[in-house]
Amino acid sequence: MTARILDGAALARSIRADMAQRAAALAGRGRPPGLAVILVGEDPASSVYVRNKVKDCEEVGIRSILDHLPVHTTQDSLLARIRQLNADPSVHGILVQLPLPPQIDAHTVIETISPAKDVDGFHVASAGALMTGQAGFLPCTPYGVMKMLEHAGAVLKGAEAVVVGRSNIVGKPQAMLLLQSDATVTICHSRTRDLAAHTRRADILVAAVGRMKMITGDMVKPGAIVIDVGMNRDAAGRLCGDVDFDAVREVASWITPVPGGVGPMTRAMLLVNTIEAAERAAA
């Protein structure tokens, strides 16, 4: 079997087109959506991410406010800026790009963002809402993965889903979302004994580790849907995932490429959350 490619770039394009319509509708009601993005310091990867987010906003008609603060910004001044944005009715989403410099505690920063504007879905209130099945903002990466599974026509009810990775921003929320869709979920991590024994049972396999090609062909059940969240650089500096793509595509039924899979969907879901936030505020 050669797997079908789950094209995240194409799906993200169609989501952006939908968001552009919803943004135009909000603007037509005099409530244009707005996203504030805060970058502290000069981390090169973060600068690229932030630039892309601003570009995505421009494309769909979300007004973006980019606050680029110096690397020695104090925690108190960052928190004061967040409180100002919390109170600004023209700002519907607030995103603080991580990582932050060492003098600033990321947890305190995230908890200062109003849950109503937490479009990254990292606030404890958002995590609690996800855990208890309440309305809240979903973290963009696992949310995007769910959209990709839906697009592939994956039957999640009763399916064996295995998530490799248990971070707060990817692995854990991914597992919760799969559970809410009635999959039987296993979460694996660095202390898991016999990882392959788990992955081989998976109808749905999500790899979110950060180790190049760690999911090999013999670790995948024939016909599985394989989602590769990982973003790594190979020796030549090329972006690659956690999955050995060439080997696994001969076993799986669907597979996400890297680049062009989960990455563009993560970006698209930030726009979805921002439009949602603006629509809720306008309601």
Which residues are known catalytic residues? 53, 97, 120
Q: How far is the CB of 176 from ligand NDP (least distance, A)?
A: 14
Q: How far is the CB of 242 from ligand NDP (least distance, A)?
A: 7
Q: Is 231 in the site for ligand NDP (CB under 6 A)?
A: yes
Site residues (CB under 6 A) for ligand NDP, limited to 109-148: 141
Distance CA 272, CA 165 (A): 25
Q: How far is the CB of 59 from ligand NDP (least distance, A)?
A: 18
**Residue 228's closest CA among 209, 247, 246, 202?**
209
Cβ proximity to ligand NDP: between 67 and 120 the closer is 120
Q: Are 101 and 40 in contact (CB under 8 A)?
A: yes
Q: Which of 47, 75, 167, 186 binds ligand NDP (CB under 6 A)?
A: 167
CA dihedral of residues 94, 169, 15, 67 (deg, nearest 10) = 30
Q: How far is the CB of 27 from ligand NDP (least distance, A)?
A: 28
Q: How far is the CB of 24 from ligand NDP (least distance, A)?
A: 27
Structure tokens at 55: 């570009």
With the C-alpha atoms ordered 121, 110, 98, 56, is the resulting torsion angle positive or negative? positive
Q: Are strands 63-69 and 93-96 parallel, antiparallel or unpaired?
A: unpaired
Cβ proximity to ligand NDP: between 12 and 277 the closer is 12
CB contact set of 76 (below 8 Å; sequence gap of 6+)? none
Site residues (CB under 6 A) for ligand NDP, limited to 35-94: none
**Residue 15's closest CA among 134, 151, 169?**
151
With the C-alpha atoms ordered 237, 8, 213, 1, is the resulting torsion angle positive or negative? negative
User: How would you list the strands of the sheet with 34-40, edge to edge?
Assistant: 63-69, 34-40, 93-96
Site residues (CB under 6 A) for ligand NDP, limited to 258-277: 262-263, 266
Distance of CA 275 to the CA centre of its chain: 16
Q: Which of 96, 229, 252, 272 binds ligand NDP (CB under 6 A)?
A: 229
Q: Is 9 in the site for ligand NDP (CB under 6 A)?
A: no
CB contact set of 186 (below 8 Å; sequence gap of 6+)? 160, 161, 162, 163, 198, 201, 202
Cβ proximity to ligand NDP: between 149 and 170 the closer is 170
Cβ proximity to ligand NDP: between 26 and 145 the closer is 145
Q: How far is the CB of 229 from ligand NDP (least distance, A)?
A: 4
Interface size with ligand NDP, residues (CB under 6 A) = 25
3-class secondary structure, 39: strand
Per-residue binding string, ligand NDP, 174-213, x by CB under 6 A, is --------------xxxxx--x------------xxxx--
Cβ proximity to ligand NDP: between 73 and 266 the closer is 266
Distance CA 186, CA 44 (A): 35
Q: Is 164 in the site for ligand NDP (CB under 6 A)?
A: yes
Q: Which of 121, 165, 173, 257 binds ligand NDP (CB under 6 A)?
A: 165
Task: By CB under 6 A, name the binding residues for ligand NDP.
Answer: 141, 164-167, 169-171, 188-192, 195, 208-211, 229-232, 262-263, 266
